Amino acid sequence: MEKNEYRKNALDMIWLTSCVLRGTSHDQERLYEIDLKGLFYVCQKHSLTACVAYALESAGIKDENFSQAKEKAIRKNILMDTERKKILDRLEKEKIWYMPLKGSLLKDWYPRLGMRQMSDNDILCDGSKRARIKEIMEDLGFKCEHYGKGNDDAYHKEPVCNFEMHNELFHTANAGNLHEYYGDVKDRLIKDENNDYGYHFRTEDFYIYITAHEYKHFAAGGTGVRSLVDTYVFLKKFSDSMDWGYIAAELKKLGIEEYEKNNRELALKFLETDDLTEEETKLLDYHIFSGSYGTVANNVGNLMTKSGGSKAKYIFSRIFIPMEFIQSWYPFFYRHKWLIPFLPFYRAVMGLTKNRKKVLSEFKLLCKR
């Protein structure tokens, strides 16, 4: 899809999302100009299809693609809730502390069921029980998709249930101050009242966490419009009751106070007005063209910026990765350090085998710079 066409569809997506979240009326003339096929494509890129489906239905527009996506989102939400309860019940039984993260909580603050689409559910657990948690998940019928790498283990259960069981919130490889700040995360948690081993963040700390999580993606490959919608929904519900002095002090420790300010101002504004500043428009475009999970182009651009624009430094940093990255993602090489000189060749072979399209895309983008 051509860039201007993509942006036009994205703006229609934002407008319809605004209508359904704010309960405002639709502009009938604008509705007639919507390209439903193009709109659906962009909504899928930003995981806002179900949200927009509700808006279209309220305007009297029925479209099979949107209706099916909404029904799938509702079904997935219900299935994930059911499976999450089973998992948490087992963790309770095994006396393993836990805390559901981000989307599994945010979805309940949206106006309608399924409106906040879920790709997976994240649960923070006692990292010392990682192996036992794997046994529990497999006993519950989940297939382990990766284990022992990074800061989470991924599990899938047919037809649509994906869970990431985190041993820590951020790993050392690419999160800067975030890993250190959340190193003793349990000290920041509040014990649930209705169970024995469940915990939760205080409202302010939950906001700081979701902001830090989005910043991690924003600074890498980018993050889509739904992250702004999440922030909007959260702030509309809790902003007036939060201790903003505490939040500002903690954000400063993380070094993301400027990011949070810009992100918050845009999130509170972009669904309610078209009157954005030039900088806000640029920031919104970054979200629009990132999609839900970022892009290789953004990742290359951000890494080049960190490398001072030097291709040589960029290539060096991609080949000779930090030891903490090796510890997180290549534990075998970390345990057998004499093999580390062979790691670049291993990564090249694995990249071309499992992520060929992404690797070639990165190479082409680098050649154009």
State residue 332's pLDDT score.
83
State residue 300's pLDDT score.
66
State residue 174's pLDDT score.
55
Q: Specify the amino acid at residue 26.
A: H
Single out the residue of 186, 80, 170 nearest to residue 125, CA to CA.
Answer: 186
Least confident range from 122-126, 318-322, 342-346: namely: 318-322
Residue 276 carries which DSSP code? -
State residue 47's pLDDT score.
96
- Extents of the domains making up the chain: 1-62, 295-369
Residue 123 main-chain phi, psi, to 5 deg: -135, 125
Single out the residue of 313, 285, 311 nearest to residue 298, CA to CA.
Answer: 285
- pLDDT at position 176 over 80: no
- pLDDT at position 175 over 70: no
Query: Which residues lie below 8 Å from residue 57, measured CB to CB, with a gap of 6+?
Result: 66, 67, 70
State residue 349's pLDDT score.
81
Q: Which residue has the higher pLDDT, 16 or 309?
A: 16
Work out whether the CA dihedral 289, 290, 292, 296 comes out positive or negative. Answer: positive
Provide the b/e sequence for 143-166 (b: ≥16 CB within 10 Å). Answer: eeeebeebbbbbbebeebbbbbbb
Distances (CA, A) of 162 to 7, 43, 76, 90, 154: 31, 21, 10, 17, 7
Single out the residue of 171, 139, 175 nearest to residue 155, CA to CA.
Answer: 139
- Its pTM stands at 0.89
Residues of the chain above pLDDT 70, percent: 94
Tokens representing 337 are 């350090």
State residue 369's pLDDT score.
62
State residue 342's pLDDT score.
84
Confidence band, pLDDT 50/70/90 cuts, at residue 119: confident
Number of H helices and E strands in the chain, helices first, is: 19, 7
Q: If phi over 0 gives left and psi between -120 and 50 gives alpha, with beta otherwise, what is residue 268? A: alpha
- pLDDT at position 366 over 70: no
Tokens representing 16 are 């319809």
Least confident range from 21-30, 125-134, 256-265, 288-297: namely: 288-297
- pLDDT at position 212 over 90: yes
- pLDDT at position 260 over 60: yes
- pLDDT at position 368 over 90: no
State residue 331's pLDDT score.
81
Task: Give the mean pLDDT of 236-262.
Answer: 97
Provide the b/e sequence for 9-43 (b: ≥16 CB within 10 Å). Answer: bbebbbbbbbbbbeeeebeeeebeebebebbbbbb
State residue 173's pLDDT score.
64
For the chain, the straight-line distance linking the first and the last C-alpha, in angstroms and rounded, comes to: 23
SS3 (DSSP) at 99:
strand
Task: Give the mean pLDDT of 334-357.
Answer: 82
- pLDDT at position 341 over 90: no
Task: Give the mean pLDDT of 73-89.
Answer: 97
